[in-house]
């Protein structure tokens, strides 16, 4: 065959850059998303190398130097209500705060995507059953649900993670279901079906690649919500317990000092704000980079 000799010809095939390399290329040209990513990376590094970066022991306090203002010699960000170094506590706090922010979203991504894709692809009664069950959880405001679950399970990091994971499964399952339902109706799925492919093969080759991206983008947007909820749980005494440094908890314990040292008391909130907005901006950038039509 002529085409056979053509394909054996030494001239190489033109290969278009793959979808993801295009996404990365577009992302790299987005200054806001890149800056947000830089902030996130800095936070992660800070959490990982906290013992090397922190100037003081975050647990040791001296009551004689309580609530020093920002700029005190030896304590650049002041001290908290027990005289512990704020800078060190904020650096160590990144560990628990990021853990509480990111882990539930990843766990929920796994289960939510599984539920949503199954419901969307199978459709019919399975869809109704799964999605109405999810709706029951969705009916509660996420804050209330997290508080109720944590309250029932008892305070602690693990229970906090568990309740936050459960809180995020419904919204992710919703998005996964609607994206999958949209993809399932497209003609390339029909064409694959016409070629005799099994449902598992169709899901693996044609569905996952087209739905995981949008679901992932949505999930990254939830990281900021998770951070805030986790901080909220700690603030209410349902998440991390003192004396662990965690931004939400620090915000809680410093709230009495708001009239004495307002700037110091606001620092943990500032960290939460910066982290969550960075995740949000990065997720926005990822969304537009993944849009082929733009």
Partner 1 sequence: MIPAPLFSAQNLVKHFRLKGGLLGSSRGVVRAVDNVSFDLAEGETLGIVGESGCGKSTTARLIVDLISPDAGTITLGGKLLGKHISARELRRQIQMVFQDSYASLNPRLTMEDAIAFGPKVNGMSPQQAARLAHELLERVGLEPRRFAGRYPHELSGGQRQRVNIARALAFSPKIVVLDESVSALDKSVEAQVLNLLADLKAELGLTYVFISHDLNVVRHMSDRVMVMYLGQVAEIGTVEAIYSAPAHPYTAALLSAMPSMDPDRRTMEAPLTGDPPNPINPPAGCRFHTRCKHADTICAAVEPGLFGLPGEGHQVACHIHIPGSNHRNRGVEA
Tokens describing residue 12? 């190489």
Tokens describing residue 234? 């700690």
Specify the residue, 23 or 39, whose C-beta has the smaller distance to partner 1.
Answer: 23
Closest approach of partner 1 to the CB of residue 124, in Å: 9
Is 199 among the residues that bind partner 1 (CB under 8 A)? no
Buried b (16+ CB within 10 A) or exposed e, 137-171: bbeeebeebbbebbeeeebebebbbbbbbbbbbbb
Q: Which of 158, 194, 259, 294 binds partner 1 (CB under 8 A)?
A: 194
Q: Which of 3, 136, 158, 259 binds partner 1 (CB under 8 A)?
A: 3
Q: Which of 31, 187, 259, 294 binds partner 1 (CB under 8 A)?
A: 187
Dihedral sign of CA atoms 97, 103, 106, 108 in order: negative
DSSP code for 82:
T
Is 294 among the residues that bind partner 1 (CB under 8 A)? no
Q: Which of 52, 152, 195, 259 binds partner 1 (CB under 8 A)?
A: 195
* DSSP codes, 134-200: HHHHHTS-HHHHHHHHHHHH-SSHHHHHHHHHHHHHHHHHHHHHHHHHHHHTSHHHHHHHHTT--HH
Is 4 among the residues that bind partner 1 (CB under 8 A)? yes
Is 200 among the residues that bind partner 1 (CB under 8 A)? no
Tokens describing residue 100? 């509480």
Is 260 among the residues that bind partner 1 (CB under 8 A)? no
Please choose, out of 147-155, 190-198, 229-237, 247-255, the segment that lies near partner 1 by the rule CB under 8 A. Answer: 190-198
Is 24 among the residues that bind partner 1 (CB under 8 A)? no
Q: Are 149 and 238 a contacting pair, CB within 8 Å?
A: no
Please choose, out of 113-121, 141-149, 187-195, 251-259, the segment that lies near partner 1 by the rule CB under 8 A. Answer: 187-195
Is 206 among the residues that bind partner 1 (CB under 8 A)? yes
Is 192 among the residues that bind partner 1 (CB under 8 A)? yes
Q: How far is Cα 221 from Cα 102, in angstroms, rounded to an integer?
A: 11
Interacting residues with partner 1 (CB under 8 A):
1-4, 6-7, 9, 11-16, 19, 128, 186-188, 190-198, 201, 205-206, 209-210, 292-293
């Amino acid at each position: 065959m002529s085409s056979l000799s053509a394909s054996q010809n030494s001239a190489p095939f033109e290969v278009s850059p793959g979808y993801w390399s295009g996404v990365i290329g577009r992302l790299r040209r987005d200054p806001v998303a890149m800056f947000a990513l830089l902030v996130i990376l800095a936070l992660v590094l800070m959490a990982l190398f906290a013992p090397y970066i922190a100037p003081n022991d975050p647990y040791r306090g001296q009551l004689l130097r309580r609530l020093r203002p920002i700029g005190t010699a030896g304590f650049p960000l002041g001290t908290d209500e027990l005289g512990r170094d704020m800078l060190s506590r904020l650096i160590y706090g990144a560990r628990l705060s990021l853990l509480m922010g990111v882990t539930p979203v990843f766990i929920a991504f796994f289960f939510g995507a599984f539920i949503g894709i199954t419901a969307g692809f199978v459709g019919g009664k399975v869809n109704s059953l799964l999605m109405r069950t999810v709706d029951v959880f969705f009916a509660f405001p996420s804050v209330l649900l997290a508080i109720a679950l944590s309250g029932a399970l008892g305070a602690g990091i693990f229970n906090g993670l568990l309740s936050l994971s459960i809180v995020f499964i419904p919204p992710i399952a919703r998005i996964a279901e609607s994206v999958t339902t949209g993809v399932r109706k497209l003609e390339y799925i029909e064409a694959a079906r016409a070629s005799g492919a099994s449902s598992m093969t169709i899901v693996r080759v044609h569905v996952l690649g087209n739905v995981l991206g949008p679901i992932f983008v949505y999930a990254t947007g939830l990281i900021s919500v998770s951070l805030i909820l986790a901080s909220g749980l700690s603030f209410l005494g349902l998440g991390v317990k003192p004396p662990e440094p965690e931004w939400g908890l620090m915000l809680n314990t410093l709230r009495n000092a708001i009239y004495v040292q307002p700037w110091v008391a606001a620092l943990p909130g500032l960290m939460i704000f910066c982290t969550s907005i960075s995740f949000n901006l990065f997720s926005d950038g990822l969304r537009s980079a993944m849009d082929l039509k733009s």
